[in-house]
Structure 1
Amino acid sequence: MKDFEKYYDFIKDEETKNTVRKIADKASYVEKNFITAVTEFTNPYAAELCIPIIKNYDVKFELFPSYEHCERKVFILYPDYMGSIDRNEYVAALRIMNRSKFKDLSHKDYLGSIMSLGIDRNRTGDIYVHEDFADVVMHKDIAEYVHFSLELIGRNKVETQILKAEETAFKEQQHELIMINASSLRLDSLVKNIANKSREDSSDMVKSGLVKVNFKVEEKPSAEVKEGDMISIAKYGRFKIHRLSGITKSGKNKIEIKHYI
């Protein structure tokens, strides 16, 4: 077996590095014990880093859920001799229906209610919030536990129903649209406009590892961003470059950004 330490050293973000290590350990466990196992939910960048390592083990894997728009996924790992698996044995969705007519529930409300039951965020996937319900992807055993445990979110009475992961109703996370005029598409220029900081402070934030582009820490202030990129800024939130809308008369880039709330 190869020594992966140099590969791990390549990963700058400690959280991502720990995720990759844990998933590699689980692949090793599956290989040695000839059993099937499911990993924690992970983002697309961490998943991409895991695949070359998993391929070094005599195991098969599926990255699931596999439907369009899904962001957070698990690896279902199983012995090399097995022909196929039933993915629905490992991942499910929970529909949480808000039965109160007086208070709408947000992404934060639904996630907070699940975590208040002692459930780690890494055991839940995407959350799709609709007007009177939310679909939450999670490990199957967790879905069953929450189904029998969750009755209230705040003062709102809720009811739950277990679904197959493929039966979730996708809806983009709530966001506000903001327009900025940036002198360039450099990362520090975007951070400057989003966080309302000076160019020097924005550059320092990037160099300090406080900014991610598409889930990957980016420490180069001069890195160019493009339409569709997801930018995460510590303490400020997540922002997606929704549309590049041309150039102003003064030569600045008109950029439409989604701020997820």
Structure 2
Amino acid sequence: MSVKDYLLGRYPGDENKYFIGRMMEYLNRCERNKQRVFTDFLHPLQVKIATELARSQSSVQLGFHGGFEDAERRMAVFLPEWDSVKPEEFPVEILKITDRGWGRTLSHRDFLGALLGIGINREKVGDLLVRERVCFAAVHRDIAGFVETNLERAGRSSVTVERVAGEDLQIAPKYSEMRITVASPRLDSVVGSVFGLSRAKSAGLINSEKVKVNWDVCNRTDAALQQGDIVSVGGKGKFKVGEFAGTTKKGRSIMVIKLYK
């Protein structure tokens, strides 16, 4: 079975089919021309698919950068095995969008909607980090100037836009940290413990495909979570699995959980 057929079977759906085909084109172009090929911003499931694809070809490697530390949406680059790439070589710009209004505080949805509203494709936009009345947006370099010139409003507020150096930003993560103890790192156990649900209720959410692990729907209640996994639960929230901090005297696992606000 070819890697393309495997990926199409593993990740069904028209959107994934189109994405896999596009990544195959990028990989083949890199191998054929022996030069770097950059993608637009990818969400975590696409990052996973691209990584699996790149592993199938020893002459091509893959790099990622999202503009921020621990970025979820990241740009990928296919490059020859002998090449290397630095973060500043990715075509990523950080825009500081400042709310100049005096009304309600703008949300992530407001800022994203404003960008899409001036004709920007979602794939050209990475993570948006909203702090008080400022949004730091990672965008593709080829649309940064357009956004600076044309983005004037978000929600009902006027905004200003300027480019900033991503490496100079020190933005605190927007999550609360908690520790839980579970018999094992099963998905249903962890989801139940994080959100205060019974095992039956957390299993019901999983079975009804309302739970995603690393952006991929997971309907296995016994799926074992690992450090770094990102879990989103419809109607409840999203968290990241931190370190495994040992065991209790009764042998239960202690897990550090980062719950996104």
Deviations 1:151-188 (A, max 9, x none): 11122221111234434443323x56788887764322
Runs of 5+ consecutive residues of structure 1 not aligned to the other structure: none
Conserved? CA contact 2:3–2:53, under 8 Å: no
Tell me which amino acid in the other structure corresponds to 1:90. Answer: P
After TM superposition, the score normalised by the length of structure 2 is 0.73
Q: CA deviation at 1:19?
A: 3.4
Tell me which amino acid in the other structure corresponds to 1:95. Answer: K
Question: 1:19 and 2:25 equivalent?
Answer: no
Greater shift after overlay, 23-32 or 88-97? 23-32
Distance in 2, Cα, partners of 1:42 & 1:83: 20
Greater shift after overlay, 239-248 or 159-168? 239-248
Distance in 1, Cα, partners of 2:187 & 2:85: 44
Distance in 1, Cα, partners of 2:24 & 2:31: 11
Distance in 1, Cα, partners of 2:14 & 2:128: 25
Tell me which amino acid in the other structure corresponds to 2:105. Answer: D
Conserved? CA contact 2:98–2:135, under 8 Å: yes
Deviations 1:167-225 (A, max 9, x none): 4443323x567888877643223444666766445324324543222334333202233
Residue aligned with 1:8, SS: helix
Q: CA deviation at 1:86?
A: 9.1
Distance in 2, Cα, partners of 1:16 & 1:168: 34
Distance in 1, Cα, partners of 2:238 & 2:14: 19
Tell me which amino acid in the other structure corresponds to 1:142. Answer: I
Q: Which residue of 2 aligns with 1:152?
A: 153
Q: Which residue of 2 aligns with 1:94?
A: 95
Mapping 1:175-194, distance limit 5 Å: 175=175, 185-192=185-192
Tell me which amino acid in the other structure corresponds to 2:10. Answer: F
Flag the 1:60–1:223 CA change in 2: closer, same or farther, 3 A: closer
Conserved? CA contact 1:128–1:134, under 8 Å: yes
Q: CA deviation at 1:235?
A: 4.3
Q: Which residue of 2 aligns with 1:260?
A: 260
Aligned length: 259
Conserved? CA contact 1:130–1:171, under 8 Å: no
Question: 1:221 and 2:221 equivalent?
Answer: yes
Runs of 5+ consecutive residues of structure 2 not aligned to the other structure: none
Q: Which residue of 1 aligns with 2:10?
A: 10
Conserved? CA contact 2:66–2:126, under 8 Å: no
Q: Which residue of 2 aligns with 1:234?
A: 234
Identity across aligned pairs (percent)? 27
Residue aligned with 2:136, SS: strand
Q: CA deviation at 1:96?
A: 0.6
CA RMSD of aligned residues (A): 4.3
Flag the 1:15–1:238 CA change in 2: closer, same or farther, 3 A: farther
Greater shift after overlay, 39-48 or 12-21? 12-21
Distance in 1, Cα, partners of 2:252 & 2:157: 47
After TM superposition, the score normalised by the length of structure 1 is 0.73
Q: Which residue of 2 aligns with 1:64?
A: 65
Residue aligned with 2:42, SS: coil
Greater shift after overlay, 96-105 or 45-54? 45-54
Deviations 1:31-70 (A, max 9, x none): 5577754312124453243235336386665322476323
Distance in 1, Cα, partners of 2:149 & 2:67: 27
Q: Which residue of 2 aligns with 1:135?
A: 136
Q: CA deviation at 1:150?
A: 0.7
Greater shift after overlay, 186-195 or 143-152? 186-195
